[in-house]
Amino acid sequence: MSRKPPPARSGGSERRPRVLYLSFYFPPSRASGVFRARATANHLAEAGWDVTVLTAPREFFQYHLNGAEDPELEKTVDPRIRVERPAMNAYHFEHDVRRFGVFRRTFPNIASKLYQASQKHVFGEHYLGWIPDLMRTAVARHLRRRFDLVLATGNPFVSFAAAHHLGRLFRVPYVVDFRDAWTFNQFTEQIRFPEGGRMMQWEEKVVRHAAEVVFVNDGMRRWYADRYPAAADRMQVVPNGWEPELLGRPAFQPNDPDRPLRFSYLGTVTSYLPLEVLIGGWRLARNHPLLADAVLDIHGHLGFFPHDAAMIRPRLDAGADAGVVYRGAFAKTEAAQAYAETDALVFCVPGAKFVTSGKVFEYMATGKPIVSVHESGIAAADVLNGYPLWFSGTKLDEESVAESFISAAKAARDVDSPTFEAALKHADKYTREATLTPWEHRLRTLAVGG
């Protein structure tokens, strides 16, 4: 399926630079990384690029991920962007024998061995089945009208391998955007693959030939620069950001002292979150008079895949007697309302120094107190540093978290207009326009020389 963009808005006959953007997760997907992809594509289109996005087939989100989609978010994609969805062999994700192909039904053992061989000898990622039709689609579009640049975002990282091949085939530069780390787990900081193995070889090759390698924070950039020093001068940081067109700009409103305080966590609830410390700290904090009748709302999907919920939900329910309430998932376009209904926000993330998270930028854009529940020294602290309503303990334990909750509660009751405006001023440094504009200029130089 494709969507043909209308003519460029700019006048004159100058050819717009053309970019092929490989983004498996793209609207209507609700995956956390989709917001960066959407913002990147929209920003390039607004800056005058001709943008073609190759993304996953819609069925993958509707069927294999059990409806993990946000149709309202898809409506916010710039209509000038051409979105195409190459077909995918979803061998690993398909468990219904009635949907197996003839070969798999007839020779299941052989089919399994062939799949395992492709994982071992070609590319060790279950999204590999997306690549054949992606390559055919990309080549066909390039032959029709050449691309000037190939841009890929990961995960999944098969998009990086495809960008490497397409860049060399088309003889154009390619750029890779590490939303997440590839060969190490950014949450546990452990290496994911054997040294010298196939995936390590792939990463080294992709990084070595890329025209630019982008990361969401400097900690991750430094890790890769140490590992691949020959490419260090081509590594850049493009932080995440927030979208004023989706969130708006809030107006200052004094807190109502007669209403119980409401704290909120918004975002995907993953198994990596320190939920026990969060709930334990919250339970302690509610002994303070300001928080005796307060509520902690949890908004978001439970995990990235349907089966995650069964493991995560009981951990949240452990706090039900202390005013912890799971409110369910929300659409991106509903976020502004959820933020408006809360008094303070809870920034709970895994305690690794490579973790930033996209939600922290939206949190700051509310101008409301933010309680940190994570280890000290993570990448997100660099973003929050200077935000006047940030409350974070020196350790990740229940007592420190409780103190942060109490301090944030006092700030929520007492916040004044100057402090609120100072908070928004700090957040304005991280609008998508602010974070993406320098990158767009570099991409333009790579594509057309300026």
Domains of the chain by range and CATH? 18-241+432-448 (3.40.50.2000), 244-430 (3.40.50.2000)
Burial of 67 (0-12, 13-18, 19+ CB in 10 A): exposed
Q: Return the pLDDT at 172.
A: 98
Query: Which residue is it, tokens 């005058």?
Result: 48
Q: What is the average pLDDT across 280-308?
A: 91
Question: Helix or strand or coil: residue 318?
Answer: coil
Which distant-in-sequence residues (6+ apart) come within 8 Å of 202 by Cβ?
123, 157, 160, 161
Between residues 337 and 304, which one has the greater pLDDT?
337
Count of all residues that appear for the chain in the document: 450
DSSP 8-state symbol, 301: -
CB 350 within 8 A of CB 361: no
Q: What is the average pLDDT across 33-56?
A: 96
Q: What is the DSSP string of 331-374?
A: -GGGHHHHHHT-SEEEEE----TT---SHHHHHHHTT--EEEES
CB count, 10 Å around CB of 165?
Answer: 16
Q: Which of 92, 25, 99 is nearest to 58 (CA)?
A: 25
Predicted structure pTM score: 0.86
Q: Return the pLDDT at 64.
A: 76
Tell me: pLDDT of 325 over 50: yes
Cα separation, 19 vs 170, in Å, equals: 12
pLDDT cut 90: percent of the chain above it: 73
DSSP 8-state symbol, 27: T
* Buried b / exposed e along 42-60 (16+ C-beta atoms within 10 A): bbbbebebbbbbbbbbeeb
Crossing angle of the two packed helices 131-144 and 158-170, in degrees rounded to 10: 30
Between residues 132 and 94, which one has the greater pLDDT?
132
Q: How close are the terminal C-alpha atoms of the chain, in Å?
A: 32
Describe the strand order of the beta sheet including 324-328 as a list of residue ranges.
324-328, 295-299, 262-266, 344-348, 370-373, 390-391
Q: Return the pLDDT at 50.
A: 98
Q: Return the pLDDT at 67.
A: 61
130-188 pLDDT tens trace: 999 999 999 999 999 999 999 999 999 999 999 999 999 999 999 999 999 999 988 88
Mean pLDDT score of the chain: 91
CB count, 10 Å around CB of 133?
Answer: 17
pLDDT band at 372 (very low <50, low <70, confident <90, very high): very high
CB count, 10 Å around CB of 15?
Answer: 11
pLDDT band at 331 (very low <50, low <70, confident <90, very high): confident
Q: What is the average pLDDT across 37-53?
A: 97
Cα separation, 20 vs 51, in Å, equals: 6
Tell me: pLDDT of 261 over 50: yes
Please give the angle made by the CA atoms of 172, 176 and 179, to the nearest 5 degrees.
160
Tell me: pLDDT of 205 over 70: yes
Tell me: pLDDT of 279 over 70: yes
Tell me: pLDDT of 20 over 70: yes
pLDDT band at 366 (very low <50, low <70, confident <90, very high): very high
Q: Which residues pair with 20 in a beta bridge?
A: 52, 150
Q: Return the pLDDT at 367.
A: 97
Cα separation, 294 vs 139, in Å, equals: 57
Q: What is the average pLDDT across 391-410?
A: 95
Tell me: pLDDT of 254 over 70: yes
Cα separation, 100 vs 110, in Å, equals: 14
Residue 248 structure tokens: 């708006």
206-224 pLDDT tens trace: 999 999 999 999 999 999 9
Between residues 61 and 164, which one has the greater pLDDT?
164
